Amino acid sequence: MDMTIKKAVIPVAGLGTRFLPATKAIPKEMLTIVDRPTIQYIVEEVVASNIKEVVLVSASGKSAIENHFDYSFELETFLSQKGKFELLREVRHISRLINIVSVRQKEPLGLGHAVMVTETVVGDEPFVVVLGDDLVDSEVPCVYQMIKVFNRLQESVVAVERVPHSEVNRYGIVEGEEIEKGVFKVRRLIEKPSPNVTRSNLAIIGRYVLRPEIFSSLKRTLPGIGGEIQLTDALDNLRKERSLYAYEFNGRRFDAGDKLGFLKATVTYALEHPDVGAEFANYIKTVASAL
Ligand code: G1P
């Protein structure tokens, strides 16, 4: 088995009901934070982690995502005729970021199912899964941090962060022992437990490095909470056969699938933006002082 990580699976089949009405005709992954759609932040993290092959798990109504990363002859010709070279460079940059393969998830049967349908495209090699709702702002890309852990341990790794205990029922929760700073050997995983079921508050955020054995584990996984095939449940099966690790990454995570999380991400990325950051900071100060 080739153990270099070449592919990233990005599930984008979800309907985005948490963001209606904005997502009625536009995929939620195309909602803009400052000047680019959220999916572009995800793809840039993947590319900065040396991955060029992206497997989108898609559904009908999501073609805007593929188009965003595609070459646009019409647009590039127009921009070059008008002499708008700065914009042309930006548009070209996007179309050269990645190669995309799209796989259809024909039924909404859960995250585990979304990963399962990529088996023939991924093949017998480790890969990463990145969820579009979780944006991570960090110096070293979160996926890259995880690949480093994977390369050392050669076993699957999930990214985790501590959440308030009252919120464990929103996440896949990991129980385990810390074997070195920030790395846990996983003993058990539970998808969206009620707070009285676990003492752990280590929540999986949407970054996974998976060995291909996950596919056979997924096939054995029965529908879990919500009647969906849960990736967390498949990982809980996998850890019975192989070691599995959780990694507390360095960085700040935003739940961009949630209205408040999206706003927080917008403010943070705007403050960091080279063009608008300084002026936006002044504006925020004015607004805050009037509160
Ligand atoms: C999914 C996973 C969950 C994980 C979460 C991270 O849940 O099932 O284990 O903690 O992503 O964002 P979802 O947010 O799709 O309900």
Domains and CATH numbers, the chain: 7-257 (3.90.550.10), 258-291 (no CATH)
Contacts of 77 (CB under 8 A, 6+ apart): none
Q: In the predicted model, what is the mean pLDDT of residues 164-188?
A: 97
- List, in sequence order, every residue forming a beta bridge with 56; answer none if it has no partner: 10, 102
Residues comprising the chain, all counted: 291
| CA angle (97 as vertex; 68, 56 as ends), nearest 5 | 60
Q: What atom in ligand 1 is closest to the CA of residue 231?
A: 8
Q: Please give the pLDDT value at position 47.
A: 95
Q: How far is the CA of 131 from the centre of ligand 1 (A)?
A: 8
Amino acid at 287: V
Q: Give CA–CA dist 10/58, Å, rounded.
A: 9
Q: Please give the pLDDT value at position 14.
A: 85
Q: Please give the pLDDT value at position 247.
A: 98
Q: How far is the CA of 206 from the centre of ligand 1 (A)?
A: 7
Evaluate if residue 1 carries a pLDDT over 80: no
Q: In the predicted model, what is the mean pLDDT of residues 183-205?
A: 97
Output the ligand 1 site: residues, CB below 6 A. Answer: 111, 131, 133-134, 171-172, 191, 203-206, 230-232
Q: Which residue reads 């961009």 in tokens?
A: 256
Q: How far is the CA of 60 from the centre of ligand 1 (A)?
A: 22
Q: Please give the pLDDT value at position 77.
A: 95
Q: Please give the pLDDT value at position 126.
A: 98
pLDDT tens digits, one per residue of 96-109: 889 999 999 988 89
Q: Is 160 helix (H, G, I), strand (E, B) or coil?
A: strand
What value does the mean pLDDT of the chain take? 95
Q: How far is the CA of 100 from the centre of ligand 1 (A)?
A: 23
Q: What atom in ligand 1 is closest to the CA of residue 133?
A: 12
Q: Note whether 39 and 65 are within 8 A (CB).
A: yes
